[in-house]
């Protein structure tokens, strides 16, 4: 009688060690971190127009730079990568390029307004942009850590068994800098 209950438990133990729960948990964590990245980009996309409008009132003659920021933001919002597309390097790279275009346009904005650097609105803009970019950096770092954890889990024993047999798990793509020279910090020069 006891054997009848012990046998199923003994059969279930190896399955529990094969990533049946940990693989989907790690995948969902990575997808949640990707949602955090998208959330921070959306926050930036929502915040920039309001801040730019405030600064724009003080700098109408520089509207071409502001239009470039707004256009880059609009272009970035058109590219969406869902959690199911994270294993597609081309899709992730397209998203990264669009977001890098926003970053470059923001750098141009900062360089184009040397006369406004003492203006409270411009200082607020700079502070908000810096804070927003920091939040994006943290979200990308957290996403990359979740991807690393997931990718490690689906490649290591015993979870690799469950990952392959039950889920057909594929490695997720980490967020990478795609802009040439991205490893070098940009120089901000207000005199040019």
For 62-105, how does the pLDDT look when each residue is reduced to its tens digit (9 = 90+)?
Answer: 566 677 778 888 878 888 888 888 888 888 888 888 888 888 88
Query: Is 76:48 a contact under the CB 8 Å cutoff?
Result: no
What are the tens digits of pLDDT across the range 16-73? Answer: 556 678 889 999 999 999 999 898 888 888 887 777 777 666 666 556 667 777 888 8
- Report pLDDT digits (tens) over 115-141: 544 467 777 777 888 888 899 999 999
Cis status, amide bond into 158, omega within 30 of 0? yes
Domain assignment of residue 165, yes or no: no
Query: What span, in angstroms and rounded, lies between the C-alpha atoms of 19 and 154?
Result: 8
Range of the domain at 67: 40-145
- State residue 174 phi and psi, 5-degree precision: -75, 160
**Residue 159: inside a domain:** no
Collect all residues with Cβ–Cβ distance below 8 Å to 115 and sequence separation of at least 6.
Answer: none
CB neighbours of 65 closer than 8 A, spacing ≥ 6?
105, 108, 109, 112, 113
CB 86 within 8 A of CB 174: no
The answer to the question of residue 188 being in a domain is no
Query: Distance between CA 154 and CA 170 in Å, rounded?
Result: 8
The total of structural domains in the chain comes to 1
């Amino acid at each position: 009688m006891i054997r009848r209950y012990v046998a199923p438990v003994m059969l279930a133990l190896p399955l529990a060690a094969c990533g049946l729960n940990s693989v989907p948990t790690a995948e969902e964590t990575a997808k949640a971190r990707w949602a955090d990245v998208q959330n921070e980009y959306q926050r930036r996309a929502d915040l920039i127009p309001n801040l730019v409008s405030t600064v724009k009132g003080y700098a109408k003659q520089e509207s071409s730079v502001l239009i470039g920021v707004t256009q880059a933001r609009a272009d970035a919002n058109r590219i969406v990568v869902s959690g199911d597309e994270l294993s597609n390097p081309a899709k992730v790279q397209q998203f990264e390029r669009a977001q890098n275009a926003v970053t470059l346009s923001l750098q141009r904005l900062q360089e184009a307004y040397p006369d406004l650097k003492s203006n409270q609105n411009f200082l607020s803009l700079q502070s908000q942009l810096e804070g927003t970019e920091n939040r994006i950096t943290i979200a990308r770092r957290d996403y990359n850590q979740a991807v690393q954890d997931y990718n490690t889990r689906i490649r290591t024993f015993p979870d690799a068994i469950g990952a392959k047999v039950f889920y057909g798990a594929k490695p997720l793509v980490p967020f990478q800098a795609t802009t040439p020279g991205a490893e070098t910090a940009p120089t901000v020069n207000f005199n040019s």
